[in-house]
Amino acid sequence: MVKTGVCLETYLFNPPFSSLPTEMIKHEGLRDTIRKVKNTSKFQLVTNLPSTNHSFVELSKWVPRLFLNKKDPICVEYKTYFESRDQMVVAGAGNVGHVVSQYTVIGVLLENLFDKKTDPLHLLPSADLIINNSDSQEAHALQKRWLPNLHLEPMPYRFVKRK
């Protein structure tokens, strides 16, 4: 739809993110090290192998709203995905974050080893995250979203194309 110029208003509840849920690792140092190694490796792959992902930039006009539960390992990695992009900018590695957020390691390898072009469906350039920080153990119970005592944290992210 976005490729035709139509951006549908979208609300996604606990959408899956196909990656290891590093957000669930309790040891902060180990979690950060894994993320840095993953991003550095992906950056090396993308910059040393030919790869294209034009649809990522086209998608940046579309801003879906993702409702995530911090205790759900299936969807919480969206939070990590967007936060790591911001953290790399703060650390002076904004160009790395800009590049690695557009690709998956599997996608780059498939394209170069088997000439198989894939669009990673879970990588979003922009989104409004709404994180449910409540203590509810039922991450997928839709009726829990209307409780009056929810602790919701809005986190808007926008992709800015670099020149």
Q: Please write the tens of the pLDDT for every residue from 31-55.
A: 888 888 888 888 888 887 766 666 7
Residue 104 covered by a domain: yes
pTM of this structure: 0.81
The pair of three-digit structure tokens given for residue 48, joined into one six-digit string: 């040393």
Total domains present in the chain: 1
Residue 1 covered by a domain: no
Please tell me the distance from the alpha carbon of residue 66 to that of residue 10, in angstroms, as a whole number: 8
Report whether pLDDT(78) > 60.
yes
Residue 3 covered by a domain: no
Please tell me the distance from the alpha carbon of residue 156 to that of residue 142, in angstroms, as a whole number: 22
Return the minimum-mean-pLDDT range out of 1-10, 78-87, 102-111, 125-134: 102-111
How many Å separate Cα 120 from the centre of its chain?
A: 11
Secondary structure class of 38 (helix, strand, coil): helix
Residue 107 covered by a domain: yes
Contact call for residues 53 and 63 (beta carbons, < 8 A): no
Domain, as residue range, for 66: 10-157
Contact call for residues 96 and 39 (beta carbons, < 8 A): yes
Residue 163 covered by a domain: no
Residue 44 covered by a domain: yes
DSSP 137: S
Report whether pLDDT(139) > 60.
no
pLDDT at position 128 is 96
